[in-house]
Amino acid sequence: MADLLAGFAFFLIIEGLVYVLAPRFLVKMAQLLPSIPAEQLRLAGLIAVTCGVGLVWLVRG
């Protein structure tokens, strides 16, 4: 349970850093999202999840 909470905390830290360091970039990305096909967004999400699982496997393995 501690690892899950630590992971969630890191997620919040990284998300917060994006808002603090690059708010204009975040707004531009939000404006671009509707023009990106759903399949491409799904693929990007799948790649991110796969990389995340791989990283956890490497670190915890």
Of residues 3 and 39, the one with the higher pLDDT is 39
* pLDDT value for 2: 86
Q: Report the mean per-residue pLDDT for the chain.
A: 93
- pLDDT tier at 24, thresholds 50, 70, 90: very high
pLDDT in tens, 32-47: 999 999 999 999 999 9
The domain segmentation of the chain, as residue ranges, is 2-60
Q: Is the pLDDT of residue 3 over 90?
A: no
- Burial readout 2-20 (b: 16 or more C-beta within 10 A, e: otherwise): eeeeeeeeeeeeeeeeeee
Residues with Cβ < 8 Å from 28, sequence gap 6 or more? none
* pLDDT value for 60: 85
